[in-house]
C-alpha cells in the first residue's frame, strides 16, 4: 500500500467566543469543514492559504493534538481518528514528527543542542551516542555545537536544530507548520533547500503548511489551497494559468504584486 495518510471528510468545530462551553453545533464554527486529501509515502504536499483558513488546525488533527468532530484519519493503514492515551499514541508519535513556526519557544533554553536533538531517542530508549553530532552535520551546522544553547543561535540556525530533532527518529511523516515564516528571505530559501535535500535523501513524506506560495511551489509536488476551513482546489503548480478557483487566482496575483 503506497498511501501513508488519508484524510476523509474531516471537520473540526470550535465554540464561538461568546459561548466558550457551547455543546450544540449551532453554537460553534467550523475551523475545518469536510476536508479530504491523501498523501503517499515519500510525497510532498503543500497546504497554502491565508491566516485563519484552517491550516494549523489540520496539522493539530494529524498530530493528535486535537480530535475531529467528523470524518476519518487513516495513517499507515490504521484508523487514528479517535486514538487516545499514552500507550496508543506512543508508537504513532515516533512516525509523525513536527517543526513549528517559532523555533525560539519550541526549544528548551536550558538544554544544550545535543540534549535537545537526542531527547526523542531517549524517549524511545534508542542509542544516542554520537547522534547529535551526526544530525547537526546533516542540517548544515557544526557538529561541535552540541554544547551550545538555543540563545547562542540565530533564528535560522534554531530552525535547523528543530528539523534535526524532528528527523532523528527517521519518521515516515514530517509536518512543518509555517516553519519559514519568521525567517528572512535568504535564510528561508536555505531552509527550503535543506528540506528538499532531506526529503530526497530520506524519502520522508512532508506536509508543508505556509502562506508563502513561492516556498510551497519550490518544495512540494502537490499543493492544496485552503479557504474558510475548506480545500478549494489541489494543483501541481501554483500558477495563474492552472488555477481554477478565484481565491487561488487572487492569492497568486497578490504574491506577484508583492514581488513586483
pLDDT tens, 124-135? 999 999 999 999
Task: Out of 20-24, 119-123, 167-171, pick the least confident.
Answer: 20-24
Domains detected in the chain: 3-103+174-259 (3.40.50.300)
Query: Is pLDDT of 30 > 50?
Result: yes
DSSP state, 77? T
| Region at 175 (left for phi over 0; alpha for psi -120 to 50; beta for the rest) | beta
Give pLDDT, residue 257.
Answer: 47
pLDDT band at 23 (very low <50, low <70, confident <90, very high): low
pLDDT score of 22: 52
- Predicted local confidence at residue 239, as pLDDT: 78
List Cβ<8 Å contacts ≥24 apart for 125-131. Answer: 126/169, 131/168
Q: Is residue 249 classed as helix, strand or coil in its secondary structure?
A: helix
- Residues 51, 42, 134, 193: is their CA dihedral positive or negative? negative
Mean pLDDT, the chain, integer: 90
Amino acid at each position: 500500500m503506497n498511501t501513508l495518510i488519508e484524510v476523509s471528510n474531516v471537520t473540526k468545530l470550535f465554540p464561538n467566543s461568546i459561548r466558550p462551553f457551547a455543546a450544540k453545533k449551532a453554537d460553534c464554527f467550523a475551523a475545518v469543514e469536510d476536508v479530504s486529501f491523501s498523501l503517499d509515502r515519500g510525497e510532498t504536499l503543500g497546504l497554502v492559504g491565508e491566516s485563519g483558513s484552517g491550516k494549523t488546525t489540520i496539522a493539530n488533527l494529524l498530530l493528535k493534538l486535537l480530535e475531529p468532530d467528523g470524518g476519518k484519519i487513516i495513517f499507515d493503514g490504521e484508523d487514528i481518528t479517535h486514538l487516545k492515551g499514552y500507550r496508543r499514541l506512543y508508537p504513532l508519535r515516533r512516525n509523525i514528527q513536527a517543526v513549528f513556526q517559532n523555533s525560539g519557544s519550541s526549544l528548551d533554553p536550558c538544554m544544550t543542542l545535543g540534549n535537545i536533538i537526542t531527547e526523542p531517542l531517549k524517549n524511545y530508549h534508542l542509542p544516542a551516542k554520537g547522534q547529535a553530532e551526526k544530525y547537526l552535520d546533516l542540517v548544515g551546522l557544526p557538529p561541535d555545537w552540541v554544547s551550545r544553547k538555543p540563545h547562542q543561535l540565530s533564528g535560522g540556525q534554531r530552525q535547523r536544530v528543530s528539523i534535526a530533532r524532528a528527523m532523528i527518529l527517521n519518521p515516515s511523516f514530517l509536518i512543518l507548520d509555517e516553519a519559514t515564516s519568521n525567517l528572512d528571505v535568504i535564510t528561508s530559501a536555505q531552509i527550503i533547500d535543506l528540506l528538499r535535500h532531506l526529503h530526497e535523501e530520506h524519502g520522508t513524506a512532508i506536509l508543508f503548511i505556509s502562506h508563502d506560495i513561492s516556498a510551497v511551489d519550490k518544495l512540494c509536488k502537490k499543493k492544496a489551497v485552503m479557504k474558510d476551513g475548506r480545500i478549494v482546489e489541489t494543483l501541481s503548480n501554483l500558477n495563474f494559468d492552472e488555477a481554477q478557483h478565484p481565491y487561488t487566482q487572487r492569492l497568486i496575483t497578490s504574491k506577484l504584486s508583492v514581488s513586483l
